[in-house]
Amino acid sequence: MAPSALPAPSACAGHPDTAAGWRCEHCEALLCPACVAVRRMGTVEYFTCVRCQGTANVLLRHRAHRALGARLPQALRFPFTGPGLQSLVALSLVLAVLRSFAVSAMLLAILPLTLALGVFWAAFFALVRGAARGDPEPEGPGFTDLVRDNLLPGLTGLCVTGGVFLPALARAWTLLGPASPAEVLARVTHPVETLAAPVFWADPLFWGLTVLGLLWLPWALLVAAMSRSVPAALNPLRALACLHAVGRDARLVAGVFLLLALVHAGLHWGAEAVLELPILFVPRILAEVLTCLAPFAAANLLGLVLYVHGDALGYLPTREFLEPALGGTAPLQAPPLMRESMQEDASAPAPEALQAAQEAELAAAVEARDVAKALALYGALHVLPRLKVSPSHHLFIGQAAAVEGDFPLSVKALEAAADSAPEEPTAPRALVLLARVQGEKMGNTVRAEEIYRYILHRYPDTEAARFAHARLPPAA
């Protein structure tokens, strides 16, 4: 069933005081839950109009129908939820261990601080992308590859934050004057103490440049999370494009980000006080928890921006941002019990039995690797929504059709392989093949790039995502 798009809730044709959540394909009436029935064919359920018995499609509307401001409190509460606290404590423990190895000698401190930097930024960007997917329990970074999963995120985060604050840092350097390597390390590892120096108090230029950097930082980090490119993140035109795409919500995002920056500074002061507690190692963990609270909230704020406005920002195509107009509301007329449905199927003659025989024949042809017969059967069955074909068989048909040059059939089969079981390992493989068929065989490079970006969004830290990242053009 192809869903219908609806910009805003409309009234039901039979109940004008009730919002519609479906549209009938036959009579084209808008339907509310009382006007829709759920039918079952085998193990597949579908919706029908109670008036004409035509197929009813779910109405969809953009996520932006619910304002970003209404979603904001839930995003900012993430560090205090169960999954958020688990992630926060785990990250803080790792950072505390790494920083405890950062002894005073400059050369000996570089390695643990570099690793700590990578762990922090890898977790930050993973939280952004997890929130962008709407995951209630976003997964952490994989850390299977030192360079890809640690050094590159750390370098990206350092370059982006350093880049936006470069004018302020240059002004600070002129105010503080030259320093020894140990003093430079102390300035970097204790920024709050450094900024508390009296030389900064009466310098409006430094504070003006700092505020400018804070206003630029959320959009630079947002671009970095989308493109994984430092030049793109530090391109001021990209930041302006983000402001334009997000619209009025940009002011809310900037204001909340500035507030989080102030909270972060205050928590840094608190962390310094906690470190003075005469307890072995525990104060260091508590200090890391305090200093990670605001970044966790900021990561979810940026992920929320992508979740609501990701299509306008060029992150994913618009169809990925549509959701049912009535949310999880179900039709009032439930399907018959499975036992009754089985009795109906047993008494119903030919069509279902014929389809079952065709499905079995198709499965046998796939298992026997009879490409010609499998393609002929698959094309004849038209891949109906109720067709019982395993994802691996869809994938086989898609590969075989691509080899035989039947690209439309290949696209249909590969899309079915990905849609029928999105959590199975076959889904990202099917999407990679689909993107290659669209781009390399059918010349539809725009659609191929959309699929590659969707793979990065939906299946991060997989071989498919790494392949997709290599195939995408560098971000401007």
pLDDT of residue 127: 92
Give the tens place of pLDDT for each residue, 11-64.
898 899 999 999 998 888 999 999 999 886 554 567 889 988 888 888 988 888
- Output the 3-class SS for 235-292: CHHHHHHHHHHHCCHHHHHHHHHHHHHHHHHHHHHHHHHHCCCCCCCHHHHHHHHHHH
Dihedral sign (CA 281, 282, 283, 286): positive
Give the tens place of pLDDT for each residue, 386-398.
456 788 888 888 8
pTM over 0.75: no
Tokens of 472: 């995408």
**What whole-number distance in Å separates Cα of residue 5 and Cα of residue 17?**
21
Q: Which of 137-146, 163-172, 323-332, 361-370 has the lowest mean pLDDT?
A: 137-146
**What whole-number distance in Å separates Cα of residue 88 and Cα of residue 93?**
9
Tokens of 384: 């109906």
**What whole-number distance in Å separates Cα of residue 35 and Cα of residue 29?**
10
Which strand (E) or helix (H) includes residue 47? strand 44-49
Indicate the average pLDDT of the chain. 82
Q: Where along the chain do the CATH 1.25.40.10 domains lie?
A: 349-471
Give the tens place of pLDDT for each residue, 327-368.
888 888 876 554 444 444 444 444 556 566 667 777 887 888
pLDDT for residue 8 is more than 60: no
pLDDT of residue 203: 84
pLDDT of residue 107: 55
pLDDT of residue 111: 82
Determine contact, residues 8/28, Cβ cutoff 8 Å.
no
By residue count, the chain amounts to 476
Determine contact, residues 114/101, Cβ cutoff 8 Å.
no
When pLDDT is cut at 50, 70 and 90, the band that residue 83 belongs to is confident
Query: What is the pLDDT averaged over residues 160-167?
Result: 92
Class for the domain spanning 349-471: mainly alpha
pLDDT of residue 406: 83
**Taking CA 305 as the corner, what is the angle to CA 299 and CA 309, rounded to the nearest 5 degrees?**
155
pLDDT of residue 109: 67
